[in-house]
Amino acid sequence: MKSHKIGPALVATAVVAGLALTGCGSGGADGTDGTIELSLLVDKSAQMTTMAQAMADGFNASNQGITIKIETREEGTEGDNIVKTKLATDDMADLFQYNSGALMAALDPAGTMTPITGESFVSNLEETFATAVTQDGEVYGVPIGQAQAGGIFYNKKVYADLGLEIPKTWDEFMANNATIKEAGIDPVIQTYGDTWTSQLFVLADFNNVTKADSGWAADYTANKAKYADEPAIKGFERLQEVYEAGYMNKDFASATNSQGLQMLVDGTGAQYPMLSFVIPAYAELSDDAAENIGLFAQPGDKLSDYGMTAWMPAGIYIPKTTTGDKLEAAKKFMSWVATKEACDVQNEAYSPTGPYLVKGCELPEDVPTAVNDIQQFFTDSKTNLALEFLSPLKGPNLEKITVEVGSGITSAADGAARYDEDVLKQAQQLGLSGW
Amino acid sequence: MSSSVQSERPGASPVQALPVKASPTRRREGSVQAARPSSFTKRAYPLWFHIPAAVIFIALFIVPTIMSFYFAFTRWTLFEATFIGLENFVMFLAEPGLIGSLGHTLIYGFSTSALKVIIGMALAVALTKPIIARGYLRSVTFFPVLVSAVGVGLTFKVLLDQYHGVVNQVWTAIFGSDGPGWLTNPDIALYTLIGIDVWKGVGLATLIYIAGITAIPNEYFEAARVDGAGSWRIFRTIILPLSFPATSTVIILSLIGGLRSFDLIWATTGGGPGFATDVIASVIYKQYQAGFYGLSTAGNVILFIVVTAIVYPLNRWLVSKETTL
C-alpha cells in the first residue's frame, strides 16, 4: 500500500493561506507570574463541562504553579471532526478530552499524541481503562468521569405492581413484555427521533457475543467474523423480535430520548434500553425517579452468560504539539487526575453515574439505584467491554440501520449484512490488514 | 451560448453599433502605442489591479477545487492520503445506500422543479390579475423564501409529528383515525419533503413568472380580447409561450437547487427513517462526518458531474427553444 504524506502538507498550505487571508490565529499565553496556563478542550455537554470544571478547580487549588483553563467544542460527529482537524493542523489545545477505545484509535495516536506509558501514575489506572487508551503498546490517556453501562432501564413500580422478576434470559424478558403489554403499558420504549438511541439492542448485546465467543472482537477486526452470522446477529434479531411482537410505544418513530425518559419515569413505558449517562437526566424528572428506575443487563440465551456490557469513560490526552514546560505541566495534571483526590472532587461536583476507573476511588453513599445496580455488576466481575473498546471498527451507519430494523423497514438479516458492508469502509479507511 | 446572443440581437443592435463605430479610432491609438517600448507595462499595468482578487480566487476556489479532484482518488484521513485510483467511485456507485440516494436525488430534483413551474405559473397568473389585496398576497407567497431552510425544516418536523403534530390532530378530528407518519413512514417521507420544498421555494418561481408575465406587451392581450379570445385561450397562446424565458429560468434554478438540496432534508429527517430520504448531498455529508474524507470528496465530484450532465444539456435545449420563438 503506497502512502504519501501529502495530506498534511496540503492541509497546512490551505490553513496557512486561510490564516494569512483572515488574519486569525491562536496563541496560548503563559501567566505573567511564572504560573503555567494550560488549556483543556472538552465537549460542551453540561455533564462534561461540569466534570472538567470541577477537576480544573480542584487541581488549580492544589497549587502546583499550573492553571488549567477549560475550553469547549461541539459534541458528536461534529466534535470528532473538530478534534481531527485541530490535530491535523497542529492547532490543538494543550490537553484535550476525547472518547477512549475505537474513536481514540481513529485519531492516529502514534502520530498526533504524546504517550504516557512510562509515567508512574499509569499504574493507578484500572486495567480495563488502560486497555481502552492503549494503541500499539503505548498508553495515551487518563480517565475523566466514570464507567458506563449499556442495558435496560426499568420502572421498578411497574415491575412490582405486575409482580415481575428481573429477566436473566431473553425468553424471560419476552415473557415479561407480554405481561406488561397485557396491563396496558408499553413494554419497550424506543425513540427514533434521536436515531442514536436505536443502537442499544445491538450494542448492549455485546456481553452475550463475548460470552458465546471470547475471540469474536479480534476475529471481527481481522475480517473473520461478521455481524450477519451467529452470535452477533442476535442483537439485530432481538430488535426485530421486539418490533414484530408490537412491544414498542406507538410513537417510537418520532419520539426523542428525553420523551423516552419521561415515559419511563411516568410508567407509561416499562423498560428502555439505554446507556447509563442518562441517569442524571431522568433523575431530574420526578422526585422518586432516581430511586424508582433500576437497570438490568440485556439478557441473552443462557442464564450463565448474564452480564453487563460496559463502556469506558472518555480520556484526557496530550497532543504532540504540547512540548517543553507545558508538557511537564500537562503530565503533572494527568498524574493528579489519576488519584483518589480527583475522584473525590468529582463526587462533590455532581452525582456520579458509574464506578471510577482509578484505583482506590469510591462512590458516595446516596447514588441513584441504577448506579448501584451497575456497581454490583462490576463488583461481581460480571461485565464485558463494549465492542468499541475491543475493536477500532464501528460503522457510521449503524444507527440508521437499526432504525430500519426496529421500524420493520428491513429484516435483521439484511440489516446486519448491510452493517457489515458499512464497516468495510471504516476498515479500509483505518488501513487494517485483511480487508 | 452563441444562440442566446442571436436571440437578443434585434434589441441589442443599436447599442452594439456604438463600440463598432468607435473601434477604428481605438485601434489606431493602440497601434501607435505598440511602437513604443513601454507598451507591455502599459498594457500590463491594469493587470495588477486584478491580482488581489486573483489571489483570493485562486487560494479559495481554484486550489481547493483541484485538490478535491485529487483527494477524490485517495483514501484520506486528513493526516495522510493514500492513492487508491477509482475505488472511491466504485464504492459510491456500488453501495445500495449510495446508489439509492442518487435515485432519491433525481426524484426530488425533478419533482420539485416541475411542481414549482406549475404552481408558480398558476400563482403568477392569478397574482397579475387585478384582484383584491394583490400586493399583500404577492408578499405572502414570497415570505417562505425568506425563512431559513433549517427553520422551515424544524417547524414542519413539529407540525407533521405523527401523534402530537397539528396536522395529524386536524386529520384525527376529521377522519377519526391516526394520520399518516408524514416524516416517519419510509414510503411517503420523501414526498412530504418535496411538498415542503415546494412550499418554501414556490415564491421565487412565482416572482420570476410575475416579472415574465408583466413584461408581455399589453397590445397582445388587447388584440386577443378584440378578436374574442377567452381567458384560457389568452393563457394558452399568449402567456404560456411568451413567458417561456421565465419558465426556463425557473426550471434551471429549481433543478439545480433540488439536485443539490441538503439543508431542508437534513433539518427535517436527517436522511431517515433509515435511508429513505437520503440524497447525494446528505450522503456526502454523512461520509464526511464519519471521517471518510476521500469518499465524501468523490461523492462531491459525482454530484458535480450529475448536476452538470443534467443541467448543461437542458440549458442548451431550453435556450434553443427560446430562440425558435
Strand-pairing partners, residue A39, are A69
Separation CA B75–CA A425 (nearest Å):
10
Residue A69 pLDDT more than 90? yes
Q: Domains plus CATH for chain B?
A: 21-71 (no CATH), 90-324 (1.10.3720.10)
Nearest Cβ partner of A254 from B59, B162, B271?
A: B162
- For A183-219, the pLDDT digits (tens) are 999 999 999 988 899 999 999 999 999 999 989 998 9
Does residue A73 carry a pLDDT above 80?
yes
Q: 378584440: which residue's cell?
A: B226
Q: Between B79, B96, B291, which is nearest A8 by CB?
A: B79
Q: H-type helices in B72-188, by residue range? A: 87-94, 96-128, 134-146, 149-159, 166-175
> Which of B78, B96, B295 lies nearest to residue A11, judging by beta carbons?
B78
The fraction of chain A above a pLDDT of 90, given in percent, is 62
Q: pLDDT tens-digit profile of A355-366?
A: 999 988 988 888
Residue ranges of chain B with per-residue pLDDT less than 70: 1-45, 96, 323-325
Q: Where in chain A is the domain with CATH 3.40.190.10?
A: 31-146+312-363, 148-311+374-430
Residue A281 pLDDT more than 90? no
Dihedral over alpha carbons A361, A365, A369, A371 (to 10 degrees): -10
- Local structure of A164: helix, strand or coil: coil
Neighbours of A1 (CB within 10 A): 8
Note the pLDDT of residue A161: 94
For residue A284, the model assigns a pLDDT of 87
Pairwise CB contact (< 8 Å): A3 & B82:
yes
pLDDT reported for residue B37: 54
CA angle B38/B42/B48 to nearest 5° reads 130
Best mean pLDDT range from A75-84, A286-295, A387-396: A286-295
* Per-residue pLDDT at A19: 43
Mean per-residue pLDDT of chain A = 88
> Which residues have CB under 8 Å from A181's CB, separation 6+?
A187, A246, A247
Assign a CATH topology to domain A148-311+374-430.
Answer: D-Maltodextrin-Binding Protein; domain 2 (3.40.190)
Contact between A141 and A315 (Cβ < 8 Å): yes
> What's residue A17's pLDDT?
46
**Residue A311, pLDDT score:** 92
The Cα of B180 is separated from the nearest Cα of chain A by a number of Å equal to 12
Q: How far, in Å, CA of B202 to CA of B213, rounded?
A: 16
Closest CB to A396 among B60, B82, B289: B289
pLDDT of A189: 96
> Which residues of chain B have a Cβ shorter than 8 Å from any chain A Cβ?
56, 59-60, 63-64, 67, 75-83, 91, 95-97, 161-164, 181, 183-186, 270-276, 286-292, 295
Question: A157-177: per-residue pLDDT in tens?
Answer: 999 999 999 999 999 999 999
Q: Give the CA diameter of chain B.
A: 90
> Mean pLDDT, to the nearest integer, of A323-350?
91
Q: Tell me the C-alpha to C-alpha distance, in Å, between residue A252 and each of A85, A156, A173, A420.
A: 36, 22, 20, 25
**What pLDDT does B1 receive?**
36
Q: How many CB atoms lie within 10 A of CB A375?
A: 18
Residue A429: pLDDT band with limits 50, 70, 90: confident
| Whether the predicted pLDDT of A64 surpasses 90 | no
Across the interface, do A10 and B67 touch by the CB < 8 Å criterion? Answer: yes
Please answer yes or no on whether A88 and B95 come within 8 Å at the CB atom: no
B80/A7 Cβ within 8 A: yes
How deeply is B191 buried, as exposed, middle or buried, from its count of CB atoms within 10 A (0-12, 13-18, 19+)? middle
Task: With H, G, I as helix, E, B as strand and everything else as coil, classify residue A104.
Answer: helix
Residue A42's DSSP bridge partners are A72
Beta strands in A125-192, from DSSP E residues, in sequence order: 134-135, 138-139, 141-144, 148-155, 186-188
What digits encode the pLDDT tens for the residues B58-80? 999 999 888 888 988 988 877 77
Q: Which residues of B touch A3 (CB under 8 A)?
A: 80, 82
Instruction: Report whether A142 contacts A337 (CB < 8 A).
Output: yes
pLDDT-wise least confident of A34-43, A268-277, B44-53, B308-317 = B44-53
pLDDT digits (tens, 9 = 90+) for B214-245: 999 999 999 999 999 888 999 998 999 999 99
Chain B residues inside the 8 Å CB shell of A13: 63
Mutate to test the interface with A, among B63, B68, B167, B275 (most CBs of A within 10 A): B275
CATH fourth-level superfamily of A31-146+312-363 = Periplasmic binding protein-like II (3.40.190.10)
Q: Is the pLDDT of residue A7 over 70?
A: no
Count of pairs with CB atoms under 8 A, one residue in A, one in B: 118
